[in-house]
């Protein structure tokens, strides 16, 4: 098995190249060549693919793509080379995901297969910025109150004592430590002190702040999960590698993370699916991850709920769940925001796609492209959990029909999707309860989905 120091050795001794040369002479030509060579084709009519042969070809294509492309380290301007055998051996040897949480909330994250009736790991919440500690705690308490929640994401703090939290500044350290402490307190209030936090550390944009706030004095445990990002596309930097080094040395759970850009260097849906599959393998091999957090983001629309984005979810979920036991959480970005019907249609589509395609976990689809401060509530989290469970009762073929029906409801609205409401506009901050208007809307949508023969619980 490759150790982290082996990776570092390759990052300091691999072939040297400018970043532009890597992009234009290695990455882009290899994507085009391999997509063609392995006949990876996008099928717009079927956003949820059921084609196992295509999924298997995509996996093989990703192995070939990694072997030919490598991973570019911007800290050394060198390419970290990876051999085919190393990838395949890692895929064979991995037995499952990490063990997370404490006490009654301690669980091992297990892989799933396409059309698997096992409920997925429900990762609840988002790292969307909260404007105050009070709102952050209200959100997290709400997440912790969802019985089926397997783990949570906690909000980022945008300000401390009225001062903006600048990346790399000392205030980021304060904000990161405070966000962790507030979340732990909220989970304790929800009666779920052992529930793991898997988006560490949402308030930290730098390795310095992430590592600082990991000090045990602030409440984190090795059974939580730290997100380590690839840089789009096929790159890492020292910030990434420093985080990784620290978490591996301290024995924490690494969550390898990637959000490949549909319409960026990967090109269209087939190339982006190729890169997303490659990230899955690299997360398992180079990052030694305990879980993968992944989802495509559309270059133009900044969301994952476009027809081609959903197809990428389904084909990558199928490819990686058929050929590895490295569990991945599907993360979708919705175009519409909280307290809108469109958000629920989008979230339902992502859950149907991901769950039926074998994703081991699903996260609350992030409302309004995750860019509105306070723009998420526990009701979206509750809906996603209910929808994920409902999706386990649906085979991929049926999911495909349902997703097509849902797309018909929102696809044309993506460009002008409503931003929806902020937490304090549709929830009572003091009582933590949703407004009557939001409850009414929520019930209407659920009835509408039940009318599509989706078994959504209360």
Residues that bind another protein (CB under 8 A): 4-5, 8-9, 12, 75, 160-161, 163, 168-174, 177, 206-209, 211-212, 214-218, 238, 241-242, 244-246, 249-250
Strand order in the sheet with 235-236: 78-80, 71-73, 235-236
DSSP 39-86: T----TT-SS---HHHHHHHHHHHHHHHHHH-EEETTTTEEE---HHH
For the CB of residue 100, give the shortest distance to another protein in the complex, in Å.
19
Task: Specify the residue, 202 or 206, whose C-beta has the smaller distance to another protein.
Answer: 206
Nearer to another protein (CB atom), residue 19 or residue 93: 19
CA 322 to each of CA 38, 387, 408: distance values in angstroms, whole numbers, following the listed order: 17, 23, 30
Integer Cα distance of 148 and 81 in angstroms: 41
Secondary structure of 267-284 in the HEC alphabet? CCHHHHHHHHHHHHHHHH
Q: How far is the CB of 159 from another protein (least distance, A)?
A: 12
For residue 363, what are the contacts with CB-CB under 8 A and spacing of at least 6? 123, 124, 125, 126, 153, 293, 329, 330, 331, 332, 384
Among candidate residues 79, 72, 75, the one with its CA nearest the CA of residue 13: 79
- Shortest distance (Å) from residue 105 CB to another protein: 23
Nearer to another protein, 209 or 284 (CB): 209
CB of 165 to another protein, least distance (A): 11
Closer by beta carbon to another protein, 8 or else 371: 8
β-bridge partners, 121: 361
Are 209 and 201 a contacting pair, CB within 8 Å? yes
In the complex, least distance from residue 76 CB atom to another protein, rounded to whole angstroms: 8
Least distance to another protein, CB of residue 205, Å? 13
């Amino acid at each position: 098995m490759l150790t982290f120091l082996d990776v570092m050795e390759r990052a300091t001794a691999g072939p040297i190249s400018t970043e532009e040369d890597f992009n234009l002479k290695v990455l882009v030509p290899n994507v085009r060549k391999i997509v063609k060579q392995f006949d990876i084709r996008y099928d717009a009519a079927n956003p949820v693919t059921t084609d196992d042969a295509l999924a298997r070809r995509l996996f093989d294509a990703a192995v070939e793509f990694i072997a030919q492309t490598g991973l570019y380290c911007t800290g050394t301007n060198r390419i970290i080379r990876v051999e085919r055998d190393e990838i395949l051996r890692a895929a064979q040897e991995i037995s499952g995901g990490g063990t997370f949480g404490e006490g009654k909330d301690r669980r091992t994250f297990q892989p799933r297969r396409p059309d698997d009736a096992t409920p997925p790991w429900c990762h609840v919440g988002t790292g969307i910025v909260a404007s105050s500690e009070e709102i952050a705690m209200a959100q997290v308490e709400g997440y912790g109150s969802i019985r089926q929640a397997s783990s949570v994401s906690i909000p980022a703090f945008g300000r401390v004592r009225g001062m903006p939290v600048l990346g790399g500044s000392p205030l980021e350290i304060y904000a990161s430590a405070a966000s962790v402490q507030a979340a732990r307190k909220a989970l304790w209030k929800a009666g779920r002190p052992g529930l793991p936090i898997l988006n560490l550390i949402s308030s930290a944009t730098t390795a310095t702040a992430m590592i600082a706030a990991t000090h045990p004095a602030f409440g984190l445990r090795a059974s939580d999960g730290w997100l380590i990002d690839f840089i789009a596309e096929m790159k890492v930097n020292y910030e990434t590698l420093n985080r990784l080094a620290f978490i591996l040395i301290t024995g924490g759970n690494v969550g390898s993370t990637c959000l490949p850009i549909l319409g960026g260097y990967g090109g269209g849906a087939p190339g982006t699916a190729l890169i997303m599959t490659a990230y899955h393998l690299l997360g398992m091999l180079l990052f030694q991850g305990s879980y993968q957090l992944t989802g495509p983001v559309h270059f133009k629309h900044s969301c994952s709920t476009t027809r081609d984005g959903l197809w990428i979810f389904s084909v990558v979920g199928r490819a990686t769940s058929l050929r590895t036991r490295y569990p991945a959480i599907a993360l979708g970005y919705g175009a519409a925001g909280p307290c809108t019907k469109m958000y629920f249609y989008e979230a339902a589509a992502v859950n149907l796609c991901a769950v039926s395609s074998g994703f081991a976990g699903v996260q609350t689809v992030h409302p309004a492209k995750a860019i509105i401060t306070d723009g998420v509530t526990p009701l979206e989290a509750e809906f996603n959990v209910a929808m994920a469970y409902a999706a386990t009762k649906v085979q991929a073929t049926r999911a495909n029909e349902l997703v097509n029906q849902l797309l018909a409801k929102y696809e044309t609205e993506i460009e002008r999707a409503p931003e929806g409401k902020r937490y304090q506009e549709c929830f009572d901050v003091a009582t933590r309860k949703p407004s009557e208007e939001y409850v009414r809307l929520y019930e209407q949508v659920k009835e509408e989905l039940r009318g599509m023969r989706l078994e959504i619980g209360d």
